[in-house]
Amino acid sequence: MTTSKYARIAADLRAAIHREQFGPGDRLPPEQSLREKYRVSLPVVRQALDLLESEGLVDRLHGRGTFVRTPRQRVRRTPERYQWEKDRVLLSEAQRRRTGATERDTGLSMTDLTFHAEFRTAPADPGLAAVFGVPIGAKLLHRTYTTRSRREDAPLTLTHSYLIYDVAAENPALLDASNEPWPGGTQHQLYTIGIELDRIVDYIAARPPTPDEAEELDLPAGVPIFLLRKVSIDIKDCVVEVSDVVLPADRTEFCYTTKLKRWHS
């Protein structure tokens, strides 16, 4: 298959960035220089730069040029994180306070991060009502979380977590946002009201960000988001928590390993 001209230009510039021929903050050659070097039209050069911008590698500043973007903090999610969280539930509070799931996903320490939580009540919309198995309009506790690296302005993720309000209210401490970040996270919170998780199901989809999401996450033009719906099910087969996690596609990696059985033992 023939590689398009703009893709070839983008590949050359991408490789130069990865080789650190151009470092963070460096300006790429002007569009006119690239046009002359590759003997193409300006629209082709601009297509190549659009592609690099959509990958989060460059920022294009009107009237100034195209600059290599400082790499963002990466987030790597694996299914092992859920068993890791469950194992921590039974640890002492001092042990649970030492680290959390975001630190595990990023390799950062607690001192590298800032955390913000907001709580409110919300009626279950048709989608959430169906997942929880409750009537439409049932009272939910809606928790919104953002976690940031202290080195960056944009949050690593945006999380909307939902619990059935009357269930969470069995421990009034769970209704108070000032208790966040909770040592041991949601699994320990559920443990305080006698709930043990049996399994967690992740549903992952990609879509363009809303304008608000693009602004809050500081997304380059054209970068999509991953929407991860995490459904937590207890040992009685009841859905006890639903989380909608918005993850920027330019700084998120999912890693899933599936062991396969051998045909012959």
Q: For 20-60, how does the pLDDT look when each residue is reduced to its tens digit (9 = 90+)?
A: 899 989 999 999 999 999 999 999 999 999 888 888 788 88
Taking 50 as the pLDDT cut, the residues of the chain under it are 1
Of 100, 224, 219, 85, the closest CA to residue 156 belongs to: 219
Torsion sign (Cα): 54, 156, 85, 163: negative
For the whole model, what pTM was predicted? 0.83
Q: If DSSP codes are grouped into helix, strand and coil, which group holds residue 261?
A: coil
Write the CB contacts of 193 (distance below 8 Å, at least 6 apart in sequence): 167, 168, 170, 171, 174
Buried b (16+ CB within 10 A) or exposed e, 155-194: bbbbbebbbbbebbeebeebeeeeebbbbbbbbbbbbeee
What's residue 59's pLDDT? 85
Q: Where do you find CATH 1.10.10.10 in the chain?
A: 5-68
What's residue 83's pLDDT? 96
Residue 21 φ then ψ, to 5° = -65, -35
What's residue 265's pLDDT? 66
Q: Where do you find CATH 3.40.1410.10 in the chain?
A: 75-254
What's residue 133's pLDDT? 97
What's residue 134's pLDDT? 97
CB 91 within 8 A of CB 184: yes
- Total residues found in the chain within this entry: 265
Tokens of 144: 């919104």
What's the CATH fold of domain 5-68? Answer: Arc Repressor Mutant, subunit A (1.10.10)
What's residue 1's pLDDT? 46
What's residue 2's pLDDT? 53
What's the CATH fold of domain 75-254? Answer: Chorismate lyase (3.40.1410)
